Structures are given as structure tokens and as C-alpha cells.
Structure 1
């Protein structure tokens, strides 16, 4: 495995169109125009500072499985890694700690607000080996054939063309590099004892995804998509976090609240229904006798 160049600095952010770019320049309208130009995601959840709390809970839910997955895929010191759809940068920062000063991480997201949060996360951890890129998954603008590992989580489900995104990520890998992707099956969550509000929450989430042209069962398709993208012999595993207590059990509530405007706009659920569902889910989360199983993750990695 080749080693990455050391000394990358996180002070600037790159777009795939305009070189190094300070995200603090330009107003909200400019940011929306950049997002439209750079992206092909139909993401309906909150971004930027509004999303940080939820994304930290997502990491508490899925982070331990993600870390084991990336170690199985071969992550090691000195690697050059691209995190596509980095969100608030929590996983990217963890990867940067693993690759150390001789490695580097390119944190990529279509949302300037998310990339700004990723920059803050790296600064909070005093990391100096992370670059930040505003770009969509189908056109990252990253150097071809130069990464030891390319990673994404909960990204393909939001895209019009997941296969095209996998092909783009494959092109970023050097020969012998690894693509590691994990995505969800949102028909798999369950709770015990059963609660109609829990089932309705995920029914609405899947219906919204379908209405938006998203792929909320893409985890099931991931091994086949890897083969179609040109990878041979992909390695496949499943992971499904379960909880009896803790903030992790509130993740469906956060997600449903952030989806509420889109649910109302599409006519799938009224504000009143969402409020009532959230109240029932809050009661369930507080009850330590109830078991909650989150989205089942399909984890796939393969060597170019």
C-alpha cells in the first residue's frame, strides 16, 4: 500500500469547480446554487448545525460497527482516504486519527453547510491531515487513481444513480485500493414489544424516499451493485444495532421530525400525525423494557 502525502491543511475548502474556496463567502442563495450545481442527492434531512446532534447519535448507533468494518477492509496508518458524503465529518475525523500524520483524509460532501461542520469537527480534534471538498458523489473532482481507500455510509440511498456513484468511487482508487460502502435496509427496523407508531414511522420514511426517487432498501442491492461497478469478489457483512436504553433509541424521533416538512409537502403525513407519532416514540425511548433495532446495514468492501 502506498502512503499518502503528509502536511495537508484544513484551513481551506475545495469545490470541484473553483479551486480552494472559503465556505464563509456568499450567502444562503449562493450556497443553494452551488448545491444544485454540484449534487444529485435528494436528501431531505437537515444539514449543517441543525443536523449535528442527530448525526452524533447516528455515529453512536452505527459507529462501532463502522470502525470494525473499516479495520476489516484494511484501513491503516499512512493511507490516503476519501470519505464521500462525509456529513458533519465525525467518521472522517476518526479515519484521520487512524491514518495518522503520514496519511490524509479528503472529506467530501455536496452540502457546504455539512463541510463547514466537518471542518469544525477536525479543528475540535486538532487534526491537520484533513482536506475538505464540496462536491457531489457522481462528480467528486478528486484525483483519479490515487486513494488507498474510498468510503461512504448512508450515501447511495439518497442518490438518483447509486451505480454511477460506485463507478466514480472506483475510479478514485489506485490499483489495489479498497472501496468500502455501507448502507441501510429501512424495512428491517423493529421493536419489541411491537408499537404501531414505530412501524408507521419507518413506513413514512420509506414512502418519502420512494416519492423522492431515493433507494431506502439499497443495502440489499449493494453486493450486486459492486459487481456491476466492476469489482470482483466483494466481501459482505450485515450489522444491525439494537438498544434498550440511551439517546440512541431516540434516533427515529429525530429523523421523523426532520422529515416532517417533506412529509407534509408530499401529503404523506400531516404535522399533527407527525407530532403524535413523535410523542409515542419518545415514550418508547424512555421505556427501558422495550427493545429497538435500527436499520440493518449491509457492509461491502472490495479491492480494485
Structure 2
């Protein structure tokens, strides 16, 4: 069962184009591949009691939503996102994969969600803060919506944790271009390392942050395919046009970097990346 919350959106929807990875069908597929590949790694330990009021802030195309619902099938979920197109895709995905779930959909800016104080028992964010110019302000705004004693769970990556074999300066440069482009768009691709101070400064207590590490090699072919080849390499490659338009690289240098990054998914290659998962309590 789903419902729609129209809400007031103080930003035009095209303001969401600051999302550095774009809103293409290819990106939606990449997000789905990433979520499915990493579901056990990222969602382990997150399960809410039936009847809990849960807010997923920045649900995007619903790639994480279906895994959130699978772990907590009885929750009353509100899924919010600034992109109407992404919300539409999320509704389709949830209807197909979790048709019995109770979900309310809200189109709006997570800094100004029109819900009452203490409206939720739990708040969940995954890969959201990295795209925000002021993640501390977003966390403060979300804390207002969380009841005393309620929890917030935040999952973020950190591109500085990516290293791979064979080593390649060109591949390192391509990853760094993505970090720079995200910063130019107002985000922070290295935000994973900042979760503890961000949550503490926003007023949360009992903050715990734990690394969730992906390591893919020839003995882990599912991770090689699902994460290295179908998630990380395409994510870097997708910013080609933006990097060239910004004058940050040349076609030859960028293409070489992505090709050499892709060698980590070939026989003999290895790839490492760390996500950070934080849980904190609203006092």
C-alpha cells in the first residue's frame, strides 16, 4: 500500500541536478546494481520493529528502499526525495519488489520537510550527505523530526578509500576528478570520514561509526562484477562529459584513466573501498 504526500518543495526540482552522477536510466541501473550487491554489507544490523515510523530521507530511485523494507517489513515508511522523477522510479521499484509495504511518498527538500516535531521513530539516509553543501544543516533539520530516543542511521562512502591493483596514476587521477567535480557541485565525496563529528555537532548522542569494507578479487567474482565492474568504474566513467566541459582533463587522459581503472576487474586485479555506517540517538 502506498500513499502520496504532495508537500511544499522550496526548491525547483531541477535544483537536484547538482547530483553529480546525473539522472539517466544508466545511473538508475547502476544504483540498483550497487544496492543489490552491497545489501548484506550495508544493511546488516539495521532492522526496525513492526509499526515503527521510519523516514528515508533522500530515497532516490528506491534502490536502498527495497532492502530497507526487506529487513523491516512491518514499518510505516515515509520516503522523501527532491527529484520527482526519482520518486516515480522508486514507487515502481517498491511496487514490484515489496508490494505489501506501507509507504508514503513525499516530494520535497529534506532541509524543509513539512512533518511535525518528533514525527518519526527512526531516520535512515544512504548516500545522501555526500551531495549536500551543508550536511550539518541537513542533519539538524532531520533531528527535529525524530522523537527523543529515536535513532538515525547514515551510510556514506569515501572515495579516498579506493585503492586497487594494478596501480595506475591515470586511474587515480580519474577518481580524483570525480571528487573534484562533486566538490564543484557543492558536495563532498570524502564525507564518510566526517560522519562522527557531523552527527555530534548536529546534537546527536551515542554516535557510533563503523567501516564496512568492500574487497574484490578473483576469489570474489560476484563483488568483482557487481561492485568493481558495474558500480564503481561506471560511476567514474559517467562524469566524462562534465569533466571535459569543466576543462579539468583531456579526452585521452580521461579515457585512459577509466580503462586502467577497469583493469582492477580483470583477472589478477583487486579493488578495495570503504563505506562508513553511523548510528546515533536523538537525546
Question: TM-score per shorter chain, which class?
Answer: 0.7 to 0.9
Other-structure match for 2:213? 240
Q: Provide the aligned length of Structure 1 versus Structure 2.
A: 273
The alignment status of 1:228 with 2:204, answered yes or no, reads: no
Q: Is residue 260 of structure 2 the alignment partner of residue 280 of structure 1?
A: yes
Residues 1:116 and 2:96 are matched in the alignment: no
Per the TM alignment, residue 280 of structure 1 is displaced from its structure 2 partner at its CA by: 2.8
What is the RMSD computed on CA atoms of the aligned residues? 2.2
Which residue is equivalent to 1:54? 30
For 2:66, the equivalent position in structure 1 comes to: 93
Q: Deviations over 1:120-147 (max 9, x none)?
A: 1111122341121111221122343121
Unaligned runs of 5+ in 2: 218-223
SS of 1:208 mapped into structure 2: helix
Residues 1:204 and 2:177 are matched in the alignment: yes
TM-score normalised to structure 2 length: 0.88
Q: Distance in 2 between matches of 1:69 and 1:192?
A: 31
Q: State the shift of 1:226 in Å.
A: 1.0
Partner of 1:16: 7
Given the alignment of the two structures, is residue 44 of structure 1 paired with residue 20 of structure 2, yes or no?
A: yes
Residue pairs, 1:1-304, within 5 angstroms: 9-10=1-2, 12-17=3-8, 33-36=12-15, 42-47=18-23, 49-71=25-47, 75-101=48-74, 103-125=75-97, 126-244=99-217, 245-250=224-229, 251-285=231-265, 287-294=266-273, 296-304=274-282
TM-score between both structures, scaled by the size of structure 1 = 0.82
The equivalent residue for 1:22 is none
Shift of 1:116: 1.0
Q: Does the aligned pair in 2 maintain the 1:180–1:301 contact within 8 Å? A: yes
* Structure 1, gaps ≥5 residues long: 1-8, 19-31
* Alpha carbons 1:235, 1:301 under 8 Å: kept: yes
Change (3 A) 1:58 1:172: same
Question: Where does structure 1 differ by over 6 angstroms across 4 or more consecutive aligned residues?
Answer: none
Displacement of 1:61 in angstroms is: 4.4
